[in-house]
Amino acid sequence: MGVNACTGDGATWIDRLGAGTPWTTPGADVSRKVLSSVEKVAGDGPTWDTFTITRLVRNWVSGRKANYGVLLRLRDESFSACTTVTNCNYWAYASDDWAVASLRPKLTVKYDIP
């Protein structure tokens, strides 16, 4: 199955439910507001990236916004010229259940005590 095939047990880049129920925008229907960004360069080796999302987390904690998580996206997610992984635009981040614990994401919370 390719990236466009959706079996109904999850989402793909094209479909949000079963085949024939597409996202409004390929990839997901999400807010386009950029909360934090980092510049990546082709050929960069593994490194930690820092995203400051203080305002968003404050809104979650106060209940002003629902916590639907954070989506990491590329500025250009065009796949029109993509024929192999080596010539596509992509960047990989480890998840919280990644096999190598030292590469899992971490959350650092800084706070001031008045």
Q: Is 102 helix (H, G, I), strand (E, B) or coil?
A: helix
Confirm if 38 and 49 have CB atoms less than 8 A apart: yes
- The reply to whether the predicted model has a pTM over 0.75 is no
pLDDT digits (tens, 9 = 90+) for 35-79: 888 887 777 777 788 888 888 888 999 999 888 788 887 777 666
The CA distance from 16 to 91, in Å, is: 22
Instruction: Name the phi and psi angles at 84, rounded to 5.
Output: -145, 165
Alpha-carbon distance values, 16 to 4, 43, 44, 46 (Å) = 11, 32, 32, 31
